[in-house]
Chain A
Amino acid sequence: MLEDRAIAVEPLIRVENLAKHFPVTRGVLIGRTTGHVKAVDGISFTIGRQETLGLVGESGCGKTTTSRLLLRLEQPTAGRVLLDGQDVHALRGPDLSRYHTRVQAVFQDPWSSLNPRLRVRETIAEALVVNRRVTRSGKLERVEEVLHQVGLPLSAGARYPHEFSGGQRQRIALASALAAKPELIVLDEPVSALDVSIRAQIMNLLKDLQARQPLSFLLVAHNLATVRYIAHRTAVMYLGRIVEHGDTESLYRRPLHPYTKALFAAALPADPDAPRDDMILSGEVPSPIDPPPGCHFHPRCPFAMEQCVRITPELKTVASGHMVSCHLY
């Protein structure tokens, strides 16, 4: 559902030419760097307030590394991440504490996201306890508030994670992300480890939460239909770069980049009579250590031209709010 959202002057998050290269070392005693895994290779995007940006791509495209860079779990090799204009990786002290209350995360695996030795309420309240002075009663009050927001009974707080199912654990993970009243939650494949019927529950919950409070999401996912349901804008990543970026509806209605088209063709519709647009890509995803020159996608692209090998295409605006990096345009 696309509601109108307030367009602030400075977007909540601005990512500029972000890159992360992981060195590859060889040797037992003395490590030599023989190359770099260019996990993220120069990407830029923004996330507005009360907006969801979907980041899609297959394994190795760099979407998870991107989310980790936003969460300060990795340091960028180049580029910046700005929260309200402030460089996130330069924050220290009380500014850093404040950052942790403004940006939170929910990860994919509900069975690994909760410390089994802590009661649910301790996990939920952690961001509060670590970053702000809260009284015990204040803490418990907030825990109850968020438990209610995610649709769990108040008695859940005193229990341990192993007493809950996968879907319930994701709700707890969501509650612990909400406790400090964040403005951005990074969701890394939040529903792909859940059963089909539970996914709908969680997706609806996310939409409801966003409608009721000033909350933005960065939704990293590989399932296109899921992203379409929640994201206002979508960016498609391939081998560390953004190949297409735009308003979700227009991107889905008219995908431009050949990779996006292949991705869409591979998203099998739940309809036996749907027209088969079998764009089956040849070959495997190349290694991010030694990506193909020019446009990374050219070896597998059915429309590859001579210049695709030599020149890396720029991200160009083709229609309002819709950008592609491809020589076809």
Chain B
Amino acid sequence: MARVEERIDVELAAATAADDASRPRGDFARLPWGSFVIIAVLILVAVLAPLIAPHSPTEQSLPDKLLPPAWEAGGSTKHLLGTDVLGRDVLSRLVYGARVSLIVAAVALLAGGGIGLAVGIVSGYVGGRTDSFLMRTVDATLTFPTILIALLLAVSLGPGLGTIAIAITVLIWARFARVVRGEVLAVKARDFVALARVHGCSHLRIMAVHIVPNVLNTFMVLLTLHIGFVIIVEASLSFLGAGIPPPTPSWGQMVSDGRSHIASAWWLSVVPGAAIMLVVLAFNLLGDWLRDWLDPRLRQV
């Protein structure tokens, strides 16, 4: 009777062993703990903002303006990260700003990613003139300068959460579409898709049951790797004044506001800047790890 056992592909083993040799031993150490922690903290902070923030992010207190962070001379524990030019608590603004970043990122990614996924699948599967047309649209979108488009949209639609979400969606859907289409072409060439047609499956069923699930891995990695990009775009737009209107705190807005005080009140820009950097780094590392983690499994499969 046939035994069901794990197949060892010697080449695969050799290839992954090469990776293993350059990383610390043990499965436990291989997980990107730093990323997990930072992202977990970010989500917690965003969700529990009202409970965590020591002050209201919009409450002004002119006598307390431009206080340095608590560990500096002149700082106080009442405002751990100092205050801005209107006396608003930087820490509280940072905490509430996390919400903005996450919401924008989530909405834009879901919308942009969703559209990109759909376009990529249709383009790759249907092929022919549809594919040509869709890909030329993708090419056109990709050639537009990112920030310029976002600014134009912001200016015409007026600043706000919705506008930013739309702007970012328009920017990223094309990237997803292109990569997903490539994956779809690769999957389409595999025998099980031809066999699905031989079984009598409709095109819709093939796309849903055979193509999409095999493209999801790549899609998820793409999503993760784009989170950083989206956060930076939002921050850039807010920095340029085309993003979330004040007084809602946004990390980009905070960096922008602190520009004129860089020499005297460095914390106004550096603190939110550091937060952006940490979060983007965390998501990028997560995306890298996810790609590596999913990839050898894919090959073994």
**A–B direct contact (CB < 8 Å):** yes
Give every chain A residue within 8 A of B192 (Cβ-Cβ). 112-115, 123
Give every chain A residue within 8 A of B5 (Cβ-Cβ). 165
Binds A, one of B93-101, B111-119, B199-207, B254-262: B199-207
Kindly list 20 other residue pairs between chains A and B, CB separation below 8 angstroms, not including A168-B4, A173-B195, A180-B199: A72-B197, A73-B197, A96-B200, A104-B199, A107-B194, A113-B191, A115-B196, A115-B210, A116-B214, A116-B301, A118-B213, A126-B196, A127-B200, A130-B200, A130-B202, A153-B2, A156-B4, A165-B2, A165-B5, A165-B7
Give every chain B residue within 8 A of A161 (Cβ-Cβ). 301
Give every chain B residue within 8 A of A155 (Cβ-Cβ). 4
Say yes or no: A163 contacts B4, CB within 8 Å. yes
Give every chain A residue within 8 A of B199 (Cβ-Cβ). 100, 104, 126-127, 130-131, 176, 180
> Which of A107, A113, A117 neighbours the largest number of chain B CB atoms within 10 Å of its CB?
A117
Report the minimal beta-carbon distance from A71 to chain B, rounded to whole angstroms: 5
Q: Which of A96, A108, A118 contacts B209 (CB 8 A)?
A: A118
Can you list, as one digit per residue, whether each of A86-112 has a CB less than 8 Å from chain B (1) or not (0)? 000000000011001101110111001
A32 interface residue per 8 A CB criterion: no
Say yes or no: B300 contacts A153, CB within 8 Å. no
Q: Which of B4, B200, B301 contacts A131 (CB 8 A)?
A: B200
Give every chain B residue within 8 A of A163 (Cβ-Cβ). 4, 6
Q: Which of A100, A156, A162 contacts B301 (CB 8 A)?
A: A162
Binding site for A on B (CB under 8 A): 1-2, 4-7, 190-192, 194-202, 205, 209-210, 213-214, 300-301
Report the minimal beta-carbon distance from A91 to chain B, rounded to whole angstroms: 11
Say yes or no: B4 contacts A73, CB within 8 Å. no
Cβ contacts A to B, 28 pairs, < 8 Å: A71-B197, A71-B198, A72-B198, A73-B194, A100-B198, A100-B199, A100-B200, A107-B194, A107-B195, A112-B192, A114-B192, A115-B196, A115-B210, A116-B214, A118-B209, A126-B196, A127-B200, A130-B200, A151-B1, A151-B2, A153-B2, A156-B4, A162-B7, A163-B4, A164-B4, A165-B2, A165-B5, A173-B195
Per the 8 Å Cβ criterion, residues 22-80 of A in contact with B are 71-73
Say yes or no: A117 contacts B213, CB within 8 Å. yes
Q: Which of A103, A112, A156, A159 contacts B191 (CB 8 A)?
A: A112
A209 interface residue per 8 A CB criterion: no
**Cα distance A158–B301 when bound, in Å?**
16
Can you list, as one digit per residue, whether each of A131-166 has a CB less than 8 Å from chain B (1) or not (0)? 100000000000000000001110110011111110
Report the minimal beta-carbon distance from A21 to chain B, rounded to whole angstroms: 19
Say yes or no: A126 contacts B201, CB within 8 Å. yes
Say yes or no: B214 contacts A115, CB within 8 Å. yes
| Known contacts A127-B200, A130-B205, A131-B200; A107/B4 CB under 8 A | no
Report the minimal beta-carbon distance from B253 to chain A, rounded to whole angstroms: 43
How many residues of A are in contact with the other chain, CB < 8 A?
43
Report the minimal beta-carbon distance from B215 to chain A, rounded to whole angstroms: 10
**Cα distance A164–B301 when bound, in Å?**
10
Say yes or no: A130 contacts B201, CB within 8 Å. yes
Give every chain B residue within 8 A of A100 (Cβ-Cβ). 198-200
Q: Which of A105, A112, A153, A167 contacts B198 (CB 8 A)?
A: A105
Report the minimal beta-carbon distance from B4 to chain A, rounded to whole angstroms: 6
**Cα distance A109–B192 when bound, in Å?**
10
A169 to B, closest residue via Cβ: B7
Give every chain B residue within 8 A of A116 (Cβ-Cβ). 214, 301
Say yes or no: B2 contacts A109, CB within 8 Å. no
**Cα distance A101–B201 when bound, in Å?**
12
Report the minimal beta-carbon distance from B97 to chain A, rounded to whole angstroms: 39
> Which of A105, A113, A126 neighbours the largest number of chain B CB atoms within 10 Å of its CB?
A126
**Cα distance A108–B2 when bound, in Å?**
20
Say yes or no: A159 contacts B4, CB within 8 Å. yes
**Cα distance A29–B288 when bound, in Å?**
38
Report the minimal beta-carbon distance from B229 to chain A, rounded to whole angstroms: 28
Say yes or no: A107 contacts B191, CB within 8 Å. yes
**Cα distance A233–B300 when bound, in Å?**
39
Say yes or no: B200 contacts A97, CB within 8 Å. yes
Please provide the 3 A-B residue pairs with the shortest distance between their CB atoms, ordered closest to farther: A100-B200, A116-B301, A117-B213
**Cα distance A152–B195 when bound, in Å?**
21
**Cα distance A162–B298 when bound, in Å?**
10
Say yes or no: A117 contacts B214, CB within 8 Å. yes
Report the minimal beta-carbon distance from B169 to chain A, rounded to whole angstroms: 28
**Cα distance A151–B2 when bound, in Å?**
8
A165 to B, closest residue via Cβ: B7
**Cα distance A113–B210 when bound, in Å?**
12
Give every chain B residue within 8 A of A176 (Cβ-Cβ). 195, 199
> Which of B2, B197, B214, B300 neighbours the largest number of chain A CB atoms within 10 Å of its CB?
B2
| Known contacts A71-B198, A73-B197, A117-B213; A153/B4 CB under 8 A | yes
Give every chain A residue within 8 A of B1 (Cβ-Cβ). 151, 153
> Which of B202, B210, B213, B301 neighbours the largest number of chain A CB atoms within 10 Å of its CB?
B301
Give every chain B residue within 8 A of A126 (Cβ-Cβ). 196, 199, 201
Report the minimal beta-carbon distance from B46 to chain A, rounded to whole angstroms: 33
| Known contacts A115-B214, A116-B301, A126-B201; A109/B196 CB under 8 A | no
Report the minimal beta-carbon distance from A39 to chain B, rounded to whole angstroms: 16
Say yes or no: B213 contacts A104, CB within 8 Å. no
**Cα distance A151–B1 when bound, in Å?**
7
A186 to B, closest residue via Cβ: B198
**Cα distance A107–B202 when bound, in Å?**
20
Say yes or no: B2 contacts A168, CB within 8 Å. yes
Give every chain A residue within 8 A of B202 (Cβ-Cβ). 130
Give every chain B residue within 8 A of A72 (Cβ-Cβ). 197-198
B214 to A, closest residue via Cβ: A117
Give every chain B residue within 8 A of A127 (Cβ-Cβ). 199-200
Say yes or no: A113 contacts B195, CB within 8 Å. yes
